[in-house]
Amino acid sequence: MAEEQPPSAPQRIDKWLFFARVSKSRTLAQEQIQSGLVQINARVVKQPSATVRPGDEVRVALPRRDLVLKVLKAGDRRGPYEEARCLYEDLSPPPESRPELTALEQAQRLPGSGRPTKRERRQLDRLFDPDE
């Protein structure tokens, strides 16, 4: 049975990211850390064995957004989201607002992008085979 950690105990950053549900697995957390995507207190860490303590600020660069998390306590297991949410305070800036597009605006494409239309294919055929 796992021992209960005291609230101020340091914890490996890869385990903490996994327990806080920032990464889907410890292996992925280790890859993020070794790639230089994780910072502890504005210092880039490259070793998964780096430790975090309550009060530390962890920055994680994810593909779609950047997370800024303040460590509140060390985790002892990967539990449900509600339990993981108690491990940190989210200080991330709000996501950038993107303009809402209507269905018609989403369906339209810029001229010259994507596959050619039937009309454009005919024009290309005439261009490359002027005998017709």
Return the structure tokens found at 24: 């889907």
100: in domain:
no
Contact of 54 with 74, CB cutoff 8 Å: yes
75: in domain:
yes
Domain range enclosing 46: 11-90
Residue 35's pLDDT is 96
Residue 12 clears pLDDT 70, i.e. is over it: yes
124: in domain:
no
104: in domain:
no
CATH number of the domain encompassing residue 22: 3.10.290.10
Dist. CA 33–CA 28, nearest whole Å: 9
pLDDT in tens, 71-109: 999 999 999 999 999 999 999 988 888 888 888 888 887
119: in domain:
no
20: in domain:
yes
Percent of the chain with pLDDT over 70: 93
Domain tally, the chain: 1
Residue 1 clears pLDDT 60, i.e. is over it: no
